[in-house]
Amino acid sequence: MKRESKTDMLFRELSSVSNIRDYFNRNETSMITGDLPTRLQALIDELGINRSELAVRCGLDRYYVYDIFRGRKLPGSNKLIAIVLGLDLGLDTAQELLRLSGRPALYPRFARDSVLIYAIEHHLTLEEANALLEERHLPLLTE
């Protein structure tokens, strides 16, 4: 049996709530607030790593990663998914990071997104995800 995601639960509750204030009071801690650099910092703090280690794990240039944290760079979807895979984050966190950066969420009806969702859910590495993309003749996350 598939576990219902927090987002699905919030959608279900929001569609049936009669008072939006009560909804927010009950779900305040589930709301996405802030910006991408702040959220990424919280994630690496939770993992006990620094920005340089983040760059290594995700195959990104260290200076590019530093610019993300400074707010000078806004990573595209590919780089965000590389971060998710490199840090072995879950799908809910991936969707959150995409939204914080103004990027569309992964959508399983798109073949490429299906591969990426699979890779995230099955804790694949960036290299393994790229191999699956290549197998399906889909654009790679990194060239």
In a domain? residue 102: yes
Q: Residue 102: which domain range?
A: 35-135
Residue 99: per-residue pLDDT: 93
User: Please, are residues 58 and 44 in contact by the beta-carbon 8 Å criterion?
Assistant: no
- What CATH number does residue 129 fall under? 1.10.260.40
**If pLDDT is split at 50, 70 and 90, which confidence band does 3 have?**
low
In the predicted structure, residue 143 carries a pLDDT above the cut 70: no
pLDDT digits (tens, 9 = 90+) for 62-115: 999 999 999 999 999 999 999 999 999 999 999 999 999 999 999 999 999 999
Burial pattern 35-71, b for ≥16 Cβ within 10 A else e, equals ebbebbeebbeeeeeeeebbbebbbbeeeebeebbee
Q: Domain count for the chain, please give it.
A: 1
Mean pLDDT in residue range 21-32: 82
Mean pLDDT in residue range 4-8: 75
In a domain? residue 59: yes
In a domain? residue 14: no
In a domain? residue 74: yes
Residue 138: per-residue pLDDT: 97
What pTM did the predictor assign?
Answer: 0.80
